[in-house]
Every structure is written in C-alpha cells, then in structure tokens.
Structure 1
Amino acid sequence: MKIALIGYGKMGHAIEEIAVTRGHTIVLKVSIDNLEDNTVEKIRQADVAIEFTGPESAFENIMRCLEAGVPTVSGSTGWLDRLDTVQSACRQQNGGFLYASNFSVGVNIFFEVNRRLAELMEPHTDYEVRISEIHHTQKKDSPSGTAITLAEQILEKIPRKKGWVNHISDNLDELEILSDRIDPAPGTHRIEYSSEIDSIEITHTAHSRKGFALGAVLAAEFIKGKSGLFRMSDVLGF
C-alpha cells in the first residue's frame, strides 16, 4: 500500500516506522519544511492519506485529500466544528474518510468500556462523574480530543449532565474535564464515579506513541479502496 503522510512530526515518524515494518511504502511526506509538496497531484500518488497536523491546517489538508480522491485517515484534533463540512464533501465526492480522536486499540476498547459503564451508572444519581487527563506540555489542545470523546459518550448515556466544561464546576448539570500538561506524559485518561460510600475508576495510560501509530496504520489498511464515513469501531469490528 502506498501512503501519503500529511504531517511528518513525531507522530508522522512513528506512523512511518510502523507502516514500513508492515510492508507499506511512504510515497509522500509533508512537513512544515516542504509545504509546496502538499498538492492534489502528489497526494494522488498514494492509495491512502494519513493526516496528523494541527487545528489550524487539518481542515484544508483533509479537503485537499478528498479532492484528490484518496481515502483519508485523520487524527488531528481541535477542528471538529468543521467535521460536518468534511463529511458532506466526502459524501458528495463518494470519497472515503475515517476520523478518530485516538487511534490506539487500547483507547478504543476503553471507549467501549466507558460507554457501558455510563449506562450502568445512569440510574445511580448519588454518584458524581468526573474526567481527568494528563498530556505532555507540547500538546496544543485542551481538553484532549480523547477526553472530549469520553465526555460525549457519558453525556449521551447520562442525560442529567447537560454539557462538559474544562474546569472545576459547582454546577451538577456540568461534566468536569480536568486537564494537566506535564512532561513527560504520553497520555492518561481517567473516569471517576464517586459517592459518599465508594468510588469507581477506569483509567487508560499510554506508554508511547506506538499504539496510536499502529492504530492509524490499521485504519489506513482498512479504508484502502473504500468509500464512506468510518470510525475506529468499524476497523476493530466493535
């Protein structure tokens, strides 16, 4: 499989390493140093594009990949207010697009556990729920995309919570997400349900970027030759 890497920072390098060991070829690497190569014509050399950049460039990068007719996997965060536009463009062009806030197999299993735990806890109003997350200081967005996904899952299953906030709150209608940025910290996410009697916690801790990189390559392998909108749950068969 021929892969275009749109974004060649630390994550891009980790994805390249995994992809090559799995027999794939990187035909395009776009970084801050060669933005002139980020063209529809060069992207068309690839079977799949993997886009990992930042909030300020992700939308344009994804739209360019879809214009090129190349199935696209994106893990960039901080741009999701424009996700509907991307999805509409994907449908109109009969393209393929897969977005995930986190590609780690372990995190996606964690998502499923979080959803099920929220279902179980919904009737028990004496438990208060809170999310906390820790990442390295270079992470640009806060809260993390993973934390937002976890929060949205909880809000879907526990309707007494009306929305999430990224600070400590005295409003019981609000779901707290507490974010810390500490080095070195690849990423920890914790969900806590606490009452006067006891507490229940689930935690996922990443030890390196390899889990994210492997998941992105698995997603690329899955979406090659496909059209439609997909999630990591499709890749993993949940």
Structure 2
Amino acid sequence: MNPFLFLSFFLSFSLSAEMVKIPAGNWRPFLKEINSRLGESIKIKSFYLDKYPVTQKEYFEFIEGNPEWKKGKVSSLFADSGYLGDWKDNVPDNRTSHSPVTYVSWFSANAYCQWKGKRLPSESEWEYAASFPEAGKNKKVMESVILNWYGEQKPEFLPSIGKYKNKFGVYDQHGMIWEWVFDFNNTSVTGDSRQDTDLESNLFCGGGSLKANDFSNYASYMRYGYRAGLKGWYTAKYLGFRCASNQYVKDNPL
C-alpha cells in the first residue's frame, strides 16, 4: 500500500479523547494505607478520566509532534528495547489503529499525558473508577470479566477500544490491557532485595492478607502484584495507559 495513501487514511479518522467525570466518593483501598486502619475508607475527590485507553492512532499523532519519542530515538533510561515493539518504521499496523497502544513505558505515557495537558491517574483514582461494574450489573459479573481475561489466550492483535463499559461510561479498564498509573511503584520494595520486610515481599505470602482489605479479591492481588514488579522504563505487549485530569480537557483532533 502506498505509504502516503496509508497516512492520509490513518489521519482521516480521529477518535476524540473524551473524558468522563468520576464523582467524588469514599473508597476502601485493597491494601491498607500507611496512615489508615484496615478496612477504613478514604475520600476520593472528583476527577476526569479518559473514556478510552490511548489508542495506537493517538500515540502516533503524539510521536509525530514529538519525534524524540519515536522508536529508536528514545534513551534506554526512558524505555527499554521493547518500546513500540509491534510497530514497523514508526507506524502502527493499520489493522490496530483503534486498538490500545502498548509497548510503552511509564516515561512515555507520562510525556503523552503532559502533551495533552493531562496527567496519569493515581493508583487510587484508577482503582476507584475501576471498582464500579457495568450499569445494571453487580461486581460478580465484573470479576468474571477480569478472571476470564486472565485465563484466556491473548490475541495477536488487540481488538478496538469500546469492549467493556462501567456505570460511569469508562471503557476497557478490565478485559483489555494492563494500564500504567502515576504511582505504579507505590507498592514496590524499598531496598534491593526481596528479603525486604516491605509490602511486595509479603503481598503473596501468608501474611499478605493481613495487609489486604479483601483477601479473596484475586483480581486486585494480580494488579497490585503486577505493578509492584514494574520499573519506569519497562514496556510490555499488554501494557498501555489512559490519562486523567482535575478538570475537563477538551481534545483537539487533527
């Protein structure tokens, strides 16, 4: 296919990065907060969250405007060798332009959100929004979606966004990809050894349930455990992101 025709086709479609207002509320963290008691709820202020994960098309627009984030130009301090590993010649596959972008690092995701005038959501914000099931459904149905995703064979190409929606109208927090959060290493060990007495060394041990508000919540164990093993420059096939903001930010599509 003529690359110029492809680029024209690619840019002719623009998914606006709509944002959804997440109302303030009380949320009981999965893990006990340092300054809180087990089972105690914390107050989450109202914020805005991207309706969808950032797509390959949207990320392509970002690197076109910020060539320092193109594949092959990013310092190894900010992204490992897997960065944009499914792209060829700095262009995503035309079959996945509306699929979530993956193989991105925390640093590149953070740079994208700042470019949009936004930020990465905090872990508490992300988990709070993700704790609400689909409208008219209960949390058991939501947990089934998550656990089925953990157990299924992952596709070679991710589907387009818009697969799963919660009661607020936020899509694909479950059943699609893992997502970066701003303080992803909030649950990491503090030293160089897994012999540390900090959180990660206890998370999956028998004592882990002493720090958890719901030790039967397997899905949350998986998310917290996955984040605890990340470094900011890591990339992965099913690891993407979305942005948040304290106020509504209107997207300006090309």
Confirm or deny a common fold (TM above 0.5). Answer: no
**Which one has more relative contact order, counting CA pairs under 8 Å at least 6 apart?**
2
Q: Calculate the TM-score normalised by the size of structure 1.
A: 0.28
Please, what TM-score do these two structures have when normalized by structure 2? Answer: 0.27
